[in-house]
């Protein structure tokens, strides 16, 4: 039995900028909620801040990649 090779799949077209913006906005909302709730541990605040920072870095990276 010989099997026919499958054709290569085309990559899915996505809007990476919108995805990163939504994720960063969700981290920002979480940070605001935590600031209102005043948690005992600052670890969660730093987690949200890191999520926002990485989201901004990802946004800059994607825009730089798309310009090339």
SS3 for 9-30 is: CCCCCCCHHHHHHHHHHHHHHH
Classify residue 2: in a domain, yes or no: no
Classify residue 1: in a domain, yes or no: no
CA 59 to chain centre: 8
Question: Whole domain around residue 52: which residue ranges?
Answer: 16-67
Classify residue 6: in a domain, yes or no: no
Classify residue 29: in a domain, yes or no: yes
Classify residue 56: in a domain, yes or no: yes
Report pTM.
0.78
Classify residue 51: in a domain, yes or no: yes
Taking alpha carbons only, the member of 25, 13, 20 closest to residue 62 is 20
Taking alpha carbons only, the member of 52, 11, 54 closest to residue 62 is 54
Contact between residue 45 and residue 31 where contact means Cβ atoms under 8 Å apart: yes
Q: Other CB atoms closer than 10 Å to residue 28's CB: what's the count?
A: 15
Classify residue 3: in a domain, yes or no: no
pLDDT tens per residue across all 68 residues of the chain: 668 888 899 989 989 999 999 999 999 999 999 999 987 888 999 999 999 999 999 999 999 998 98
Number of separate domains in the chain: 1
């Amino acid at each position: 039995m010989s099997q026919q090779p499958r054709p290569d799949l085309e990559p899915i077209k996505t809007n990476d900028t919108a995805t990163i913006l939504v994720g960063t906005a969700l981290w920002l909302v979480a940070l605001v909620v935590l600031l209102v709730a005043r948690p005992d541990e600052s670890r969660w605040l730093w987690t949200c801040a890191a999520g926002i920072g990485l989201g901004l870095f990802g946004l800059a990276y994607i825009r730089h990649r798309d310009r090339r």
